[in-house]
A and B are shown apart, each in its own frame.
Chain A
Amino acid sequence: MFDTALTVNDLLLLARGAGMTLLVTAISVFFGTILGIVFGVFRYQVGPWWAAPLTFILDIFRSIPLLIQLVLANAFITTVLGFRISGFSVACGVLSLYTAAYCAEIVRGGIEAVPQTLRRAARSLGMTWGQDMTSVVLPLATRVALPSWIGLALGVMKDSALVYIVQVVELLKSTQILITRLQEPLFLLMICGLFYFLISFPIARFGGYLEKRWSND
């Protein structure tokens, strides 16, 4: 018969870890998306030449492994600058910029997918740049960008497992703690996977729902 030393308290530990994963992800995706929209619109608007410095910085965030970014950022902020700041804040900050770097490209691609002729039509009706952006371009770009953005959000959720390196106990770290204690790695990883699935699935389905709702036009 199947036998395990896992207790209800251990499950609660995992649940708290899942909550932390969700929290870090939610904060990072929220701020990362806002920053990403700003960066993306800026990149599109000023053209590749003027946006080059920003593009370069975003490329750094996209190409260096997240684990290294977290360690370096943590060391830089706490040791070099001497700020007393929690690992949680470092994690959210780095992950937000990491999200923003990807999101900026998604936003730029979405805006580029809106035909110039449509924007011309909007402007010829007397709409300002801002009105064109908010009423025509961004709604249409959102439809184009949504699948990639959902993918990004789910990716960030899984990448957030790396924030254990700055002492944030999230889902995977909680699982590791239990594995060390209970020595039941496969069973615990299965449960951990199930937790990840439970928090990811609604996001994926929500994206599917939005896509379906918008497909009437």
Chain B
Amino acid sequence: MIEIENVYKSFGPLKVLKGVNLTVAKGEVLTVIGGSGSGKSTLLTCINGLESIDSGRILVDGVEVHAKATDLNKLRQKIGIVFQQWNAFPHLTVLENVMLAQVKVLKRSKAEAEAEAVKQLNHVGLADKLAVYPSRLSGGQQQRMAIARALAMSPGYMLFDEVTSALDPQLVGEVLDTLRMLASEGMTMICVTHEMKFAREVSDRVAFFHQGVLAEIAPPEQLFAAPKDPELQKFLSATH
């Protein structure tokens, strides 16, 4: 379970999160929507401790992320994150990309790591690209590789930060399909996205952020059909 309690975060004078409360249960698929600058991406990077917070707290399986005593490197093994930019390690093959952290962080043997990498790459449909360098892959393939790389760490949670925003339109579908597959397998996921159709289809709940505040959260059928928050109404009419 991920528990976010009254979290504030600012970058200098800019207040990005202003008292966010949110709980994500095991097995839940939460999508987060909102305009740019609404704080939704920052929230994700706070959850795995890549960003510090000013006040409040975030608990992952009861462990406080920003507590001094918390071993962040250890905690991050539980929380996979995939970014808008796919960040393939360009000097490693697809297979090595997915093996690296398994060997270094989880101390798996080369053989174990390779077996797991092959399994995950197979899962995201890249079984025929194992020996290829990332520069030979399309954006969509690189993004799926990044997903496999995160999954290979056997995380309990997956965070997706606008993973289709940097892709050519014709490549968006293959990545969303991968996310749908994960959702159907019961993975706990938080997806920040601009894909409303996707949010409507896969989410258990949809959260709308506006100017650093969680303005509305509801199951998709309710949130999209009968938005209560005036900003959400504006946002939805602008994106449709």
Name A's B-contacting residues (CB within 8 A): 115, 117-118, 120-128, 131, 135-136, 139-140, 143, 214, 216-217
Chain B positions within 8 Å of A125 at CB level: 76-77, 100-101, 105, 149-150, 153
Are B77 and A126 neighbours in the complex by a CB distance under 8 Å?
yes
- Residues 154 to 196 of chain B near chain A (Cβ within 8 Å): none
Are A127 and B87 neighbours in the complex by a CB distance under 8 Å?
no
Q: How far is the CB of B189 from chain A (nearest CB, A)?
A: 15
Instruction: Give Cα A143–Cα B135 distance, bound, in whole angstroms.
Output: 15
- Residues 12 to 68 of chain B near chain A (Cβ within 8 Å): 48, 50
List 8 A-B pairs, Cβ < 8 Å: A120-B87, A121-B146, A123-B76, A124-B81, A125-B150, A125-B153, A140-B90, A217-B92
Chain B positions within 8 Å of A124 at CB level: 48, 50, 76, 79-81
Chain B positions within 8 Å of A128 at CB level: 73
* Range class of the B interface residue count: 20 to 34
Are A217 and B91 neighbours in the complex by a CB distance under 8 Å?
yes
**Is the C-beta of B197 less than 8 angstroms from some C-beta in chain A?**
no
**Is the C-beta of B83 less than 8 angstroms from some C-beta in chain A?**
yes
Chain A positions within 8 Å of B73 at CB level: 126-128
- Known: A125-B149, A126-B76, A127-B73. Is A120-B105 also a contact (CB below 8 A)? no
Are A217 and B74 neighbours in the complex by a CB distance under 8 Å?
no
Instruction: Give Cα A122–Cα B74 distance, bound, in whole angstroms.
Output: 13
Closest to B104 in A: A131
Chain B positions within 8 Å of A140 at CB level: 89-91
Are A216 and B133 neighbours in the complex by a CB distance under 8 Å?
yes
- Known: A123-B50, A126-B74, A127-B73. Is A217-B87 also a contact (CB below 8 A)? no
**Other than the known A122-B89, A125-B100, A135-B104, what 9 A-B pairs have Cβ atoms closer than 8 Å?**
A118-B89, A122-B101, A123-B50, A124-B50, A126-B74, A126-B76, A127-B100, A131-B105, A217-B91
Are A121 and B87 neighbours in the complex by a CB distance under 8 Å?
yes
Chain A positions within 8 Å of B50 at CB level: 120, 123-124
Closest to A214 in B: B91
Are B91 and A127 neighbours in the complex by a CB distance under 8 Å?
no
Chain A positions within 8 Å of B92 at CB level: 217
Are A217 and B134 neighbours in the complex by a CB distance under 8 Å?
yes
**Is the C-beta of B10 less than 8 angstroms from some C-beta in chain A?**
no
Are A127 and B85 neighbours in the complex by a CB distance under 8 Å?
no
Instruction: Give Cα A159–Cα B93 distance, bound, in whole angstroms.
Output: 40
Chain A positions within 8 Å of B48 at CB level: 124
Q: Pick the most buried of B79, B81, B91: most chain A CB atoms within 10 A of its CB.
A: B91
Closest to A120 in B: B50
Chain B positions within 8 Å of A126 at CB level: 73-74, 76-77, 101, 105-106, 153
Closest to A128 in B: B73
Instruction: Give Cα A128–Cα B104 distance, bound, in whole angstroms.
Output: 9
Closest to A124 in B: B81
Q: How far is the CB of B78 from chain A (nearest CB, A)?
A: 9
Chain B positions within 8 Å of A216 at CB level: 133
Are B105 and A139 neighbours in the complex by a CB distance under 8 Å?
no
Chain B positions within 8 Å of A115 at CB level: 87
Closest to B149 in A: A125
Are B87 and A118 neighbours in the complex by a CB distance under 8 Å?
yes
From B74, B85, B104, B105, give the contact of A117 (CB < 8 A): B85
- Known: A120-B50, A217-B133. Is A127-B101 also a contact (CB below 8 A)? yes
Chain A positions within 8 Å of B106 at CB level: 126
Q: Pick the most buried of A118, A120, A126: most chain B CB atoms within 10 A of its CB.
A: A126
Instruction: Give Cα A204–Cα B37 distance, bound, in whole angstroms.
Output: 50
Instruction: Give Cα A148–Cα B177 distance, bound, in whole angstroms.
Output: 45
Instruction: Give Cα A115–Cα B85 distance, bound, in whole angstroms.
Output: 11
